Each structure stands twice: as C-alpha cells, then as structure tokens.
Amino acid sequence: MNLDKAQEALDLYIGPGWVPLVTKLINEIRKVAPEAEVLQVKEKFGGLRFYIGSAPGKVHDLISEAESASFTICEICGNPGRPRSGGWIKTLCDEHALRATNDTPQVTCVIVRETRHE
C-alpha cells in the first residue's frame, strides 16, 4: 500500500499510542521516498514492525529508529512505557500494565496430594 493508505489504516494495525510515532515515520519517509510502498505495519514481541518495499538506506535508518523508540512508548496511550510480559509481550506504561494485569483472569492451580498413614 502507498504511504497515504498506510497512514489511513494505522488504527487497524497498531495501538493508538503508537499512531503519532508511525505518523511521524511516514511523514519522514515521504520526504525521502514519496513513492515507497508499505508492505506491513504491526506489533510483534512488544515492538513496532514496519516493513517496506525497495527504499533508500536512509528510509531503513528511519524505520530502525522508530522501531527502537516503540519499546519506550505505551501502545495504548503514548506515555513512556516498557515491554511487559504476561502471555503476550506488550509495551505499556505502568497504568496500562496494571490494568492489563487486573483485566486478565488469574488462574491458580492447587495440587493436593493424598498421603496415607498406615
């Protein structure tokens, strides 16, 4: 997809907290390679992944910078965050990490072993 279509569809692929980061990235790419084709935008292992077709090295540098920055930005709200694990790895601020923990059903498994005394 071209840069304009990628910009329009961001909220389908990433959390709202990363939209400003990726919008800035797309605008910077537009200056260097306006005809660039975006292949995919997604979150993977708590970080941004931005795949693009053939583009100059400067574009790949911009992408690397944005992908690195994503590990410091909450995917939900855009505040400072860090990768958190708990099943899936997500980059979240303290508040959203706490909410995610509270919204996730906690499963406790208790194993009882029967002992016979003879």
**CA–CA separation, 17 and 32 (whole Å):** 25
**CA–CA separation, 104 and 90 (whole Å):** 14
**CA–CA separation, 46 and 44 (whole Å):** 5
Q: Where are the beta strands (DSSP E) in 37-107?
A: 38-44, 47-52, 82-84, 90-92
Predicted TM-score (pTM) above 0.85: no
Domain parsing of the chain, residue ranges: 3-103
Task: Spell out the per-residue pLDDT of the chain, length 118, in tens.
Answer: 889 888 888 888 899 999 999 999 999 999 999 999 999 999 999 999 999 999 999 999 999 999 999 999 999 999 999 999 877 899 999 999 988 776 554 443 444 445 555 5
**CA–CA separation, 68 and 64 (whole Å):** 6
pLDDT, residue 36, reads 94
